[in-house]
Amino acid sequence: MDKFTTLTGVAAPMPLVNIDTDMIIPKQFLKTIQRTGLGKNLFDEMRYDDDGREIPDFVLNQPAYRNAEILVAGDNFGCGSSREHAPWALADFGIKAIISTSYADIFYGNCFKNGMLPIVLPQEQVDILMEDARKGANARIAIDLESQTVTSADGQVFTFEIDPFKKHCLLNGLDDIGLTLEKVSAIDTFEAMATQARPWV
């Protein structure tokens, strides 16, 4: 998993509340167990018409936001079923951080496991960043995980809270496997001792 330290990028405004995981990645795309390839189907039912053509008004189809790395979203983002394909699709599209007032718990946890930073800010601060995002590609939002700050395009700085363990994992690029591998020497020592003590196992 890539480390997350700082990010300065274009933010796409998605002010809808209760964007659920089926909106993020519809159920017909859940057959794969690959983390890649789902970006093209992100928000599929909002991005494309029944004939598979892009809907021009949808934010991620607009030229200014095709390379967005941040989403500024409405309340309760990622609610609904607990599909990990939702953060997979966001990450595969190129989204590295989301800013909202709240998230569904399982989606929130899955973001960290996939190297994505979900930031919680008060509504008035999200509103300011939403207006920033509406300015298009010229308005870039900066995120610094170490200092736990979000800086708007005009220099307003907002601080956010994050669990220290989740912060450590993102800063060091550690998913569950990476965390286990940090203990590999202790695991090897235990296995050697266990083999000596119980060679018949």
Split into its structural domains, the chain has a count of 1
Helix (H) or strand (E) holding 56: none
Q: How many CB atoms lie within 10 A of CB 54?
A: 12
- Please check whether residue 11 lies inside any domain of the structure: yes
- Please check whether residue 97 lies inside any domain of the structure: yes
- Please check whether residue 44 lies inside any domain of the structure: yes
CB 103 within 8 A of CB 78: yes
CATH of the domain at 105: 3.20.19.10
Backbone angles phi, psi at 32, to 5 degrees: -80, 150
Domain of 164, in residue numbers:
6-172
The rounded mean pLDDT for the chain is: 92
- Please check whether residue 82 lies inside any domain of the structure: yes
Q: pLDDT tens digits, residue range 143-185?
A: 999 999 999 999 999 999 999 999 999 999 987 766 666 666 7
- Please check whether residue 157 lies inside any domain of the structure: yes
Q: How many CB atoms lie within 10 A of CB 79?
A: 19
Written as one string, the DSSP assignment of 85-106 is HHHHHHHHHT--EEEES-B-HH
- Please check whether residue 199 lies inside any domain of the structure: no
Q: How many CB atoms lie within 10 A of CB 105?
A: 11
Q: pLDDT tens digits, residue range 52-71?
A: 999 999 999 999 999 999 99
- Please check whether residue 133 lies inside any domain of the structure: yes
Q: pLDDT tens digits, residue range 124-142?
A: 999 999 999 999 988 899 9
Q: pLDDT tens digits, residue range 89-106?
A: 999 999 999 999 999 999
